[in-house]
Amino acid sequence: MTDQNSQFVPIPDRPAPATTVGPVAWIRDNLFGSVSSSLTTLLFLYLFFTYVPLFIDWAILSANWTGSDRSVCDANREGACWTFIGVRLEQILFGLYFGSNPDQVWRPVTVFIVFFALLIPLMMERTPYKKWLALTLLIPFPVLFYVLIHGGSFGIPVADTTQWGGFLLTFALAFVGILFALPLGILLALGRRSDMPVIRAICVTYIEFWRGTPLITILFMASVMLPLFFPAGVEFDKVVRAMIGITLFQSAYTAEAVRGGLSAIPKGQYEAAMALGLGYWRRTAFIILPQALKISIPSIVNTFIALFKDTSLVSIIGLLDLLNMAQTASRSLEWNGYDMEGYLFAGFIFWMFCYGMSRYSQNLERKLDTDRRH
Amino acid sequence: MTTDAPTASAELGETVINIDRLNKWYGQFHVLKDIDLNVKRGERIVICGPSGSGKSTLIRCINRLESHQEGTITVDGIELTEDTKHINDIRREVGMVFQHFNLFPHLTVLENCTLAPIWVRKTAKKEAEEIAMRYLERVKIPEQANKYPGQLSGGQQQRVAIARSLCMNPRVMLFDEPTSALDPEMIAEVLDVMVGLAEDGMTMLCVTHEMGFARKVANRVIFMDGGQIVEQNEPEAFFNNPQNERTQLFLSQILQH
């Protein structure tokens, strides 16, 4: 054997064999690792090179970008007619009022510039004073939105909610829905796990009722039935009714997403917080919710993305959101027949925002992951 | 059957915890039976016994992580009842260290230590941080203050958990199997901290199977089985001359290794 006082000498690390690392090894292992894997790779390449160039040609290379009426597009049917989108952009984004009053377009443009000026720094890692930015977005920004979009004060002409439409309406509905549904949903989720049976029963009933009813039904009810509950003459704004319906519906989903996070918190966390003498609300605010919300970020964002897209359902009560406004524009006399461009454009805007939310949630998850931070 | 509390109580102070005919049930299951226990200031008690004997449940009753059905528990002159205010008053004075550490993973080590002093004791943030650093030095990990619990070893986490409790300046410390979830190499560093605490006169109730620790620091060792206190004595007498058959069997099994 070894001598009695031998020292522990670590063997130095060696690099992995060259055939198992690098791009060639990766391609061999992942794309052509087996017969079925190779076939899948080839099939995918075939489909990709058959259809993607066709689409790119139609959508970009042969597309019509210029002009101010349909004559350009009618002359070249090989490519997409983005002229239509360009001419009707204000209408699709901001609705009929701003579409037909070009001198007022500065109002929604200002609102969105302010929105992105607040949002983009908020999403970046190293921005100082984030708390104040977020607070500005939550309180003064909606006021600014109302003052500028609705008008009626500071000499700004009124564009009441019946004239809101396009992306502007989609944005307003989703923003209000998210803003109010999140806190309401958190309270409902906490209530559902309460020790008090009455509170628990109220929350369960609420959640199950709204979750079990289709949004279309809720919008119908908000539009048709709500007025029946109020005395004649009390006129409820249609957009506000949709906002209330969406918020109530959305809060039930948010509550279930948050509940998933809450039930993942180990009992020991509650016990440690209790043992330190922290009462219910402090325990919840400092220990439980920060961890539960972190866990439920993916599902909460998932419900927000669903909500953002579901706002299109307001067409059922006669409101024209982004999708319906694009459709309306492409069915106008001047542009009849260019539906596909309208749908693609609306779809692209929806996708941009949903993908943005998704990416941001992934970022947030990574940032908050203190368990594996080294 | 049970011997009287050790006579060394001359150097010990007034009663801190008094438990009188405590009974507790989980549903129909009778977990704690007629427990009487009096803890004096500065006393260090080790509670041992087989799993399911009710030892953890007993110390968890002392800060009301478990509620009891019969009997009284008085901590620092306050009786534990349903009254939430009393419960929080007592929890403030009673520190607890858990088997699985239960650090708050989303907060740094320093934030773990200052949260309760700031929000429960209303200590100013700066002062709370100074106190926290003092206790982190005492458990010998001041350099980890700005890390997250997930970056520390088990032994380090448990030492942070001890520091977190100490920051509330508790009058009693409860330890619920503090070394049971640790790798062998880390048990010593945690026990060292606990021995240091004992030497400073902290009143401690410790559920543990570390018999070396019990011999070294305990004034009294309590053996529990089937929800009752079977035997209690000073460590020397307890280990060398156990009176009850059940205690003898238990000791023969754990001391073999």
Confidence of residue A239 (pLDDT cuts 50, 70, 90): confident
A305 shares a domain with A190: yes
Task: Measure in Å the smallest separation between the Cα of A290 and chain B Cα atoms.
Answer: 8
Contact (Cβ atoms closer than 8 angstroms) between residue A95 and residue A320: yes
Alpha carbon A336 to its chain centroid, in Å, reads 31
Sign of CA dihedral B130, B135, B141, B145: negative
Q: Does residue A265 lie in a domain region? A: yes
Contact B151 A271 (CB under 8 A): no
Tens of pLDDT, residues A337-360: 778 878 888 899 999 989 988 888
* Mean pLDDT along residues B162-186: 92
Contact A277 B91 (CB under 8 A): yes
Which has the closest alpha carbon to A254: A316, A200, A191, A315?
A: A191
> Is residue A57 predicted with pLDDT exceeding 50?
yes
Write the secondary structure of A104-173 as one string of H (helix), E (strand) and C (coil): HCHHHHHHHHHHHHHHHHHHCCCCCCHHHHHHHHHCHHHHHHHHHHHCCCCCCCCCCHHHCCHHHHHHHH
d(CA B103, CA B112): 7
Q: Which residue in chain B has the smallest CA separation from A278?
A: B120
Q: Does residue A136 lie in a domain region? A: no
A33 shares a domain with A98: no
| Mutation for B interface: A196, A267, A270, A276, most B CBs within 10 A | A276
The number of beta carbons lying within 10 Å of the beta carbon of residue A226 is 14
pLDDT at A4: 64
Nearest to B106 among A266, A274, A294 (CB): A294
Sign of CA dihedral B119, B123, B124, B130: negative
Q: Determine the structural domain holding residue A328 and report its residue range.
A: 94-104+160-369
**Which residues of B are less than 8 Å from A292 in CB distance?**
none
Contact A272 B168 (CB under 8 A): no
Contact B165 A269 (CB under 8 A): no
Mean pLDDT of chain B, nearest integer: 89
Q: How many domains does chain A have?
A: 2
A100 shares a domain with A49: no
A27 shares a domain with A99: no
Contact B102 A274 (CB under 8 A): no
A156: left (phi over 0), alpha (psi -120 to 50) or beta: beta
| Mutation for A interface: B119, B160, B171, most A CBs within 10 A | B119
The number of beta carbons lying within 10 Å of the beta carbon of residue A322 is 25
**Residue B17, strand partner residues:** B39, B75
A244 shares a domain with A99: yes
Q: Does residue A26 lie in a domain region? A: yes
pLDDT at B4: 44
* A interface with B, Cβ–Cβ below 8 Å: 266, 268-269, 271-279, 282, 286-287, 290-291, 294, 368, 370-374
**Which residues of A are less than 8 Å from B96 in CB distance?**
272, 275
Owner of token pair 């709204």: A210
A231 shares a domain with A176: yes
**Residue B173, strand partner residues:** B95, B204
Task: Measure in Å the smallest separation between the Cα of B84 and chain A Cα atoms.
Answer: 9
Contact (Cβ atoms closer than 8 angstroms) between residue B108 and residue B147: yes
Nearest to A373 among B65, B98, B151 (CB): B151
Amino acid (1-letter code) at residue B237? A
**Which residues of B are less than 8 Å from A269 in CB distance?**
102, 104
> Is residue B115 predicted with pLDDT exceeding 80?
yes
Nearest to B102 among A272, A278, A290 (CB): A272
Task: Measure in Å the smallest separation between the Cα of B51 and chain A Cα atoms.
Answer: 19
Contact B102 A271 (CB under 8 A): yes
Contact A271 B65 (CB under 8 A): yes
A99 shares a domain with A33: no
> Is residue B251 predicted with pLDDT exceeding 50?
yes
Task: Measure in Å the smallest separation between the Cα of A193 and chain B Cα atoms.
Answer: 18
Contact B150 A294 (CB under 8 A): no
Nearest to A268 among B102, B106, B115 (CB): B102
**Which residues of B are less than 8 Å from A290 in CB distance?**
106
Q: Which helix (H) or strand (E) holds B18?
A: strand B15-26
pLDDT at B2: 42
Beta pairing, strands B203-207 & B220-225? unpaired
Helices A197-211, A238-263: axis angle to 10 degrees equals: 120
pTM listed for this prediction: 0.82
Beta pairing, strands B44-48 & B70-75? unpaired
Amino acid (1-letter code) at residue A65? W
Q: Which helix (H) or strand (E) holds B31?
A: strand B29-40
B164 shares contact with chain A (CB less than 8 Å): yes
* Mean pLDDT along residues B57-62: 93
pLDDT at A371: 63
Q: For residue A297, what is the domain's CATH number?
A: 1.10.3720.10
Task: Measure in Å the smallest separation between the Cα of A289 and chain B Cα atoms.
Answer: 11
CB pairs < 8 Å spanning A and B: 70
Q: Does residue A118 lie in a domain region? A: no
Q: Does residue A155 lie in a domain region? A: no
A305 shares a domain with A171: yes
pLDDT at A372: 53
Nearest to B105 among A274, A278, A371 (CB): A371
Tens of pLDDT, residues A79-127: 777 777 777 777 888 877 777 777 777 888 888 888 888 888 877 777 7
Contact (Cβ atoms closer than 8 angstroms) between residue B158 and residue B144: no
**Which residues of B are less than 8 Å from A274 in CB distance?**
63, 65, 91
The number of beta carbons lying within 10 Å of the beta carbon of residue A272 is 27
Nearest-5° Cα angle at B46, B246 to B112: 140
Contacts of A193 (CB under 8 A, 6+ apart): A200, A259, A262, A263
**Structure ipTM:** 0.89
B150 shares contact with chain A (CB less than 8 Å): yes
pLDDT at A69: 76
The number of beta carbons lying within 10 Å of the beta carbon of residue A97 is 24
Chain B residues 69-98 with a CB less than 8 Å from chain A: 84, 88-89, 91-92, 94-96, 98
Which has the closest alpha carbon to B44: B188, B220, B212?
A: B220
Amino acid (1-letter code) at residue A148? L
Q: What percent of chain B has pLDDT over 90?
A: 66
A361 shares a domain with A223: yes
d(CA A69, CA B67): 79
Contact (Cβ atoms closer than 8 angstroms) between residue A180 and residue A162: no
Q: Which residue in chain A has the smallest CA separation from B86?
A: A277
Contact B116 A279 (CB under 8 A): no
Q: What percent of chain A has pLDDT over 90?
A: 23
Token code pair at residue B216: 């070294």
> Is residue B196 predicted with pLDDT exceeding 60?
yes
Chain B residues 101-120 with a CB less than 8 Å from chain A: 102-106, 115-116, 119-120
Q: Does residue A4 lie in a domain region? A: no
Helices A289-310, A339-368: axis angle to 10 degrees equals: 180
> Is residue A156 predicted with pLDDT exceeding 80?
no
Tens of pLDDT, residues B34-52: 999 999 999 999 999 998 8
Q: Quick one: B122 exposed, middle or buried, by C-beta within 10 A (0-12, 13-18, 19+)?
A: exposed
> Is residue B57 predicted with pLDDT exceeding 80?
yes
Q: Does residue A342 lie in a domain region? A: yes
d(CA A9, CA A152): 82
Token code pair at residue A190: 């906490």
Nearest to A275 among B63, B115, B150 (CB): B63
Nearest-5° Cα angle at B132, B131 to B138: 95
pLDDT at B9: 43
pLDDT at A80: 76
pLDDT at A191: 93
Q: Which helix (H) or strand (E) holds B197?
A: helix B184-199
d(CA A83, CA A345): 12
A168 shares a domain with A43: no
Sign of CA dihedral A267, A270, A276, A277: negative
Q: Does residue A364 lie in a domain region? A: yes
* Phi/psi at B121 (5° precision): -90, -10
d(CA B173, CA B44): 10
Contact (Cβ atoms closer than 8 angstroms) between residue A266 and residue A235: no
Task: Measure in Å the smallest separation between the Cα of A281 and chain B Cα atoms.
Answer: 11
Alpha carbon B22 to its chain centroid, in Å, reads 18
| Alpha helices (runs of H) in chain A, residue ranges in sequence order | 23-30, 35-56, 71-75, 82-87, 89-94, 96-100, 106-123, 130-138, 140-145, 166-192, 197-211, 215-220, 226-229, 238-263, 267-275, 280-282, 289-310, 322-330, 339-368
Contact (Cβ atoms closer than 8 angstroms) between residue A245 and residue A221: yes
> Is residue B3 predicted with pLDDT exceeding 50?
no
> Is residue B7 predicted with pLDDT exceeding 60?
no
A49 shares a domain with A192: no
A48 shares a domain with A99: no
Contacts of B47 (CB under 8 A, 6+ apart): B55, B58, B59, B205, B206, B207, B208, B221, B222, B224
